[in-house]
Every structure is written in C-alpha cells, then in structure tokens.
Amino acid sequence: MFRGKEREKEPTNKQTGKPIRFMFMCVDWLCTCLFLQCILNITVMQFCVFQTLT
C-alpha cells in the first residue's frame, strides 16, 4: 500500500517540475531584461545630461 502511494506521487512531481522550471526561466529572462533596460536608461540619461551641459 505504501509503495503504491509512493509510485503515485512520482509522476505528479515530474509534472509539477516542468512549470516551475519554466517559471524560473521566465523570471531569469525578465530579470536580465530589466537589468539591461536599467543600464540602457542610465547610459541614455548620462548622454542627455552630458549633451545639455555642453
């Protein structure tokens, strides 16, 4: 009985593992995009400030 329950749990764990991995991938992608956007914004701001000063 106990072994049967363990066997039932295994496929569900594998099924739930996929969306979690996909979610982490999306979070990773979002973080890198936000990070790149921040760098871009800072460089653009510095460029604008530099142009207004000169």
| Token pair recorded at residue 4 | 């049967």
| Angstrom distances, CA of residue 9 to CA of 12, 15, 23 | 5, 10, 22
Mean pLDDT, residues 33-42: 93
The domain segmentation of the chain, as residue ranges, is 1-54
Mean pLDDT, residues 27-47: 92
More confident residue, 20 or 12: 20
Q: Tell me, what's the pLDDT at 44?
A: 92
Give the C-alpha separation, 44 to 50, whole Å: 10
pTM: 0.47
Please give the DSSP secondary-structure letter assigned to residue 1.
Answer: -
Give the whole-number percent of the chain exceeding pLDDT 70. 67
Size of the chain in residues: 54
More confident residue, 19 or 40: 40
